Homo-oligomer: A and B are copies of this chain.
């Protein structure tokens, strides 16, 4: 999201104040105060307040994370600084700490510049929320494309090394000209917390379906705010772009007196790891168990095109259903084509709170260049039905 401040000021008539940090809110007086970059104090009052403070990249508690050449990957400014560093280095090797969406997506950009990549994290399981068979496809794609993947290594510190930097683990070391920190994000909720607003999961700002916080004159939207999970009905914090954008629109409507209610999030996500598309929606097995469901799981292998159609590649689908209620709980998918948009069929089924049986009867599209007669999602749904 790149937009210049003057667009807000000149075209939209918004009194945009950059360089102003709000440090405290007074809910009784409906006001706040803070200081500017130049060190001057300022105050303001409000009729309605929207907190849209976003999230920040987590900084692991490691000696050396502030060394030159160590980067978080969050803001446009991060991206610019990284690009400059890679070009000026020049960097031959990079180490990525973490293996989440952002960490995985970075590999392709680095390898396309001819940079050797090693990824490391303390947790022993590669993509822990994903079915092992699907995660293996992603792992193999990384390794095929020259990325060294090291899960299960306790990281001790970062220090100078022969390539410039060195990530020192309990049992190994990784050299690199640069180190990327891809260990998740946290909501910027300190202001809300200090003001006494109710917090949600992961210290996000708690909001109702109208994006209203525990104070009726304060709304919150974007990565800083929580949401209801479509499947469990419980509060969750899954900071993704569509929800943030949608919440912005709804909060704006509600601040001016509207009554726009958002229905919740399913955690639908897709990302690209070199030539492999990876997608998920809804709950993983562990999330389902934690939420009190009795999950039945099926994993199938299918093809991206009809039998014998040239160019067909493998697609693996996992589907999760609840033995007690029959409900569809989630889906995961990996493959080289036809994955990114296919997941949306399952996402809509979650939105509609469909049972697996209902979903399995969906009239999905078929043509030989685009899939088998039975869409891989339907094949998986038929399989999990047998176990429910």
Contact = CB atoms under 8 A, between A and B. Distances in A.
Interface centre among A349, A358, A361 (most CB of B within 10 A): A361
A362 B348 contact: yes
Contacts of A270: 365-367, 370
A377 B269 CA distance: 16
A321 interface: no
A274 B246 CA distance: 36
Contacts of A175: none
A295 to B, nearest CB: 20
Contact of A351 (B267, B361, B370): B361
A370 B341 contact: yes
Contacts of A342: 341, 344
Given A277-B370, A349-B352, A352-B349, A364 B340 contact: no
Contacts of A242: 363-364, 366, 373-375
Contact of A363 (B277, B351, B361, B373): B351
Contacts of A359: 348, 351
A340 B370 CA distance: 7
A245 interface: yes
A129 to B, nearest CB: 15
Contact of A348 (B263, B338, B349, B367): B349
A281 interface: yes
Contact of A362 (B272, B344, B358): B344
Interface centre among A344, A350, A364 (most CB of B within 10 A): A344
A283 interface: no
A265 B243 CA distance: 32
Interface centre among A241, A262, A268, A341 (most CB of B within 10 A): A341
Contacts of A363: 230, 242-243, 264-268, 281, 347, 350-351
A157 interface: no
29 contacts: A230-B363, A241-B373, A242-B366, A245-B373, A245-B374, A246-B361, A264-B363, A268-B365, A270-B365, A270-B366, A272-B369, A281-B363, A340-B341, A340-B365, A341-B341, A341-B345, A341-B365, A344-B377, A347-B364, A347-B365, A348-B354, A348-B362, A349-B352, A351-B352, A351-B354, A351-B358, A351-B361, A351-B362, A352-B358
Interface of A: 105, 230, 240-243, 245-246, 262-272, 277, 279, 281, 338, 340-352, 354, 358-359, 361-367, 369-371, 373-375, 377
Q: Which 5 A-B pairs have the closest CB atoms?
A: A352-B352, A340-B370, A270-B365, A344-B345, A341-B341
